[in-house]
Structure 1
Amino acid sequence: MSRLVVVSNRIAPPDDKKSSAGGLAVGILGALKAAGGLWFGWSGEIGNEDAPLKKVTKDNITWASFNLSEENHEQYYNQFSNAVLWPAFHYRLDLVNYQRDAWDGYQRVNALLADKLQPLIEDDDVLWIHDYHLLPFASELRKRGINNRIGFFLHIPFPTPEIFNALPPHSELLEALCDYDLLGFQTENDRVAFLESLAMQTRVFTRGSKNHTAWGKDFQTEVYPIGIEPNEIAEQAAGPLPPKLAQLKNELGSVKNIFSVERLDYSKGLPERFLAFEALLENYPEHHGSIRYTQIAPTSRGDVQAYQDIRHQLETEAGRINGKYGQLGWTPLYYLNQHFDRKLLMKVFRHSDVGLVTPLRDGMNLVAKEYVAAQDPANPGVLVLSQFAGAANELTAALLVNPYDRDDVANALHRALTMPLAERIARHSEMLEIVRTNDIDHWQRTFINDLKGVTPRSAESHLQRTVATFPKLA
């Protein structure tokens, strides 16, 4: 049986408490447990890159991690992955800070990782590479003679050609991506955007709809919307509330709760969300004193100026809105810039009347699916969801909104707060069925099965394909 080798920027160390792992970790661990294999990635530590790999084996899985030098981490991770690719892929070209040295560092680290992984790869291994940090990783492995099946999954959106092709190294990145055998995307829009970007750089030959050849390289594309573990989330959400939360719920009485939790990131549309809540208070004064909006947004990448600016903006807006609309005994908006235990958040989801998830752009957004899974089916809350989140392609029974239109979001919030029970149950039931069907296990099994179905490359067959596609080069 083929062994599975997973490569991601960071690895999740072995831990029996599966609930402590995020969605990506849960999916990867499920795939690794089924096939046995290796999880390879950065340790999260700055140190000597020449040090031996740190290896931990538990049951049929080995975790292998490495250190990065301060310079390589800065250029590969901070300056290119997060200051070029992340903003561009989330349609924020205005925040892209491209530096040639950072691009060189990004390529250098991908080559370094290929050097470190190569000795660990066995002939029949199947490789699964994750996310935007490792776009050229398959290309580096191919240069080293690795012809195993290699799949790639992009967790974030793939931008339209007008955005992607504005990146100076766009052509190099596109050609490198064609060295993967299978490219997986969250949505059909992302898959099509990749192919359209590719077609602007070279001829793309397509057989059927998902098999392609570009630059003499054969590859497949497919859509694999990532899921969650709905049964586990339902268990976490059910049961009695912790004493402090129970006391708070009693104190609130009939006050309806609008709840939202996001990482503090400019892609999440938090300032726009605050303004939409203000529009709700302005347009629907009947809700004054009877609703409360809680926004949890823990800091991420706090050393980056753009994130510092968002935090300051949110603090200012929260104070202004509360000052304008608040009353003695009623504070309409609570903004908490701190982390909370995930199990606790699931219980909060269950007791929230409205889940507000309105990113400006998101690959999937698992918070939306977690909110659905956490609800009481007999008395569920209402999900207000951005049309620009990947989850909107599946959760069509949510109230879908344009996050740039504050009145649209305000109207949806009013509708959610006043929605009859029968409609809430019907909408929730439809979404829960989708969340249960397309869960995290279905995601990883479908991708791995498709990848194993790919014919492995060989140096000879690759040359033959190149000659057949471009005979004048022979």
Structure 2
Amino acid sequence: MSLVVVANREPLRREGDGWVPAVGGLATALLPVLERRGGAWVAWGEKDAGSLPLLHYPPAAPRFAVHRLFLPPREVAGSYHGMANRTLWPLAHYLLDRVEIRRDFLTAYRSTNRRFAEAVLSLWDDPHIPVWVQDYHLMLVPALLRAARPQGRIGFFWHIPWPPPEVWQVLPWLEELLAGVLGADLVGLHTAEYVDNFLATCRLLPGAVVRGQRVLWQGRAVRVEAHPIGIDTARFRRWAAEPRIRERAARLRRAAGGRFVLVGVDRLDYTKGIPERLAAWERLLEQHPQWRGQATLYQIAVPSRTRLESYRQLKRRVDEQVGRINGAFMQDGWLPVRYLYRAFPPQELVAFYLAADVALVTPLRDGMNLVAQEYAWVTENGVLVLSNLAGAAAVLPEALRVNPYDVDGLAETLHGILASLAEGRGRRTWEARRAALKERVAALDVHGWAARFLASLEQAPAVPAGPPRRSAAAPGAATAAPEGPLGGGSPGGSA
């Protein structure tokens, strides 16, 4: 074993009688890393974890094991559906009107984090093996691991935006959460902006001292670095060359029935800007009728968090928009929006990328957005339209950047792109942009991302570890947990 990944979500999903890679940004990014390095992935086993606590993958020649935790339903409701999805997620995306502050969420979150920490400790017997904790679901895990393995190599990566401190200050438990993250040796975020915001937020933590890109905390120096994530470029290149995928792309273009194809690929989440995008599409067809019958938008919306009422409301809104646009503008079998409410495996998405003249990646806020990189890497003749509020905008400057809130501006941008493509104008400019984007995506390759982060994690700490000092937030975390090696109960069906 050379690596332990700790993440809320499993990297595999059941399909028929077997298991296949899960759909989603984190699994897409980290699964190939673990396949290459070997090791373990500790995750919440959403289904059947009690009867199937351990999976080996790939089945024919296993490279890693998935240790699947059982979490009590009430804890899932408070920690995952509550603290993670109704508190931390909207807060990190600057949507403060959606943030719910509930102490029962925090209690469940503490308990879940302790279960994860215990599961890791049950299989982590060599402190030289790095442990890589992922994302906002598990902010307390690094400090819990540090308390049990003071000399361990612990990394933490934050995959969503890290907003400035004035946003975080609405959260009553900020100090406890920050102290949890600072149990790591290295904290990674996608962009320099997020790093600056994180360091500024740490200045709010009593006892923390920020020096450059380090936070001095409890006798240690925690390094904070930008490590923009990438995609598995070799895998996407291979998929793009498959005859089956290319024929599928040709069928998608024929089915569209017009001259131009545009595509949007998103989880159905209120941060992704789908209603605003559809409003811009509707505005384009209203104000520039020459594109009716000529341009089709494929909008893929992957079902997400369907138990939450806010997400059900979003689906109703999007359904109504699609129905209104298609009802107003459809003609002779042409639909302006082909709406696909389902998940597609990554190789199937490649067909949409190859088919599309334009990709619309217009989230209202996004940590990175790998769809932007996937499209930029795969497309042969397309234009990437990218929100200036996505982390990807910082690493893909040659994309055509837009303000996702500016419906009229986005509509006019699309009109300009379609006109230039129809008239053959700016061909060399588009070609130069595509070539530059491909170079950037190649440099961001997911294996390089993981190698760079892990190489930095394995560096010797700049400040020797000293005796741990209890933070102001630690007492609250300690008193909330039931009995167990960490004060947190058993991991429930892990190793």
Deviations 1:106-146 (A, max 9, x none): 00111122223223222322111111111010111223344
- Is residue 300–residue 339 contact of structure 2 (8 Å, CA) maintained in 1? yes
For residues 112 and 153 of structure 1, do their structure 2 counterparts lie closer, same or farther at Cα, with a shift above 3 Å needed?
Answer: same
Give runs of aligned pairs for residues 110-129 of structure 1, distance below 5 A.
110-123=113-126, 124-129=128-133
- Is residue 260 of structure 1 aligned with residue 261 of structure 2? no
Give runs of aligned pairs for residues 347-358 of structure 1, distance below 5 A.
347-358=351-362
For residues 316 and 401 of structure 1, do their structure 2 counterparts lie closer, same or farther at Cα, with a shift above 3 Å needed?
Answer: same
TM-score, with length taken from structure 2: 0.85
Query: Which residue number in structure 2 is paired with residue 80 of structure 1?
Result: 83
Give unmatched runs, 5+ long, in structure 2.
471-495
- Is residue 87–residue 100 contact of structure 2 (8 Å, CA) maintained in 1? yes
Deviations 1:81-128 (A, max 9, x none): 111111111111111222111101100111122223223222322111
Given candidates 433, 442, 453, the residue that maps to 2:439 is 433
Given candidates 42, 45, 62, the residue that maps to 1:43 is 45
- Is residue 454 of structure 1 aligned with residue 457 of structure 2? no
Q: Shift of the alpha carbon at 1:344? A: 2.2
Query: More displaced, 395-404 or 342-351?
Result: 342-351
Query: Which residue number in structure 2 is paired with residue 365 of structure 1?
Result: 369
Q: Distance in 1 between matches of 2:307 and 2:223?
A: 38
- Is residue 249 of structure 1 aligned with residue 248 of structure 2? no
Given candidates 395, 406, 429, the residue that maps to 1:423 is 429
Q: Distance in 2 between matches of 1:390 and 1:251?
A: 33
Q: Which amino acid aligns with 2:399?
A: A
- Is residue 12–residue 19 contact of structure 2 (8 Å, CA) maintained in 1? no
Q: Shift of the alpha carbon at 1:23? A: 4.8
- Is residue 178–residue 218 contact of structure 1 (8 Å, CA) maintained in 2? no
For residues 456 and 435 of structure 1, do their structure 2 counterparts lie closer, same or farther at Cα, with a shift above 3 Å needed?
Answer: same
What's the secondary structure of 1:383's corresponding residue? strand
For residues 146 and 70 of structure 1, do their structure 2 counterparts lie closer, same or farther at Cα, with a shift above 3 Å needed?
Answer: farther
Query: Which residue number in structure 1 is paired with residue 480 of structure 2?
Result: none
Q: Which amino acid aligns with 2:80?
A: Y
Q: Distance in 1 between matches of 2:395 and 2:146?
A: 36
- Is residue 203–residue 209 contact of structure 2 (8 Å, CA) maintained in 1? no
Query: Which residue number in structure 2 is paired with residue 394 of structure 1?
Result: 395
Query: More displaced, 218-227 or 142-151?
Result: 142-151
- Is residue 27–residue 444 contact of structure 1 (8 Å, CA) maintained in 2? no
For residues 228 and 247 of structure 1, do their structure 2 counterparts lie closer, same or farther at Cα, with a shift above 3 Å needed?
Answer: closer
Q: Which amino acid aligns with 1:4?
A: L
Give unmatched runs, 5+ long, in structure 1.
467-474
Given candidates 173, 197, 200, the residue that maps to 2:201 is 197
For residues 166 and 216 of structure 1, do their structure 2 counterparts lie closer, same or farther at Cα, with a shift above 3 Å needed?
Answer: farther
Q: Shift of the alpha carbon at 1:244? A: 6.8
- Is residue 220–residue 463 contact of structure 2 (8 Å, CA) maintained in 1? no
Q: Which amino acid aligns with 1:8?
A: A
For residues 117 and 89 of structure 1, do their structure 2 counterparts lie closer, same or farther at Cα, with a shift above 3 Å needed?
Answer: same
- Is residue 301–residue 339 contact of structure 2 (8 Å, CA) maintained in 1? yes
Q: Distance in 1 between matches of 2:274 and 2:222?
A: 38
Query: Which residue number in structure 2 is paired with residue 385 of structure 1?
Result: 386
Q: Shift of the alpha carbon at 1:315? A: 1.1
For residues 299 and 60 of structure 1, do their structure 2 counterparts lie closer, same or farther at Cα, with a shift above 3 Å needed?
Answer: closer
Q: Which amino acid aligns with 1:279?
A: R
- Number of matched pairs: 457
Query: Which residue number in structure 2 is paired with residue 4 of structure 1?
Result: 3
Q: Distance in 2 between matches of 1:98 and 1:267?
A: 19
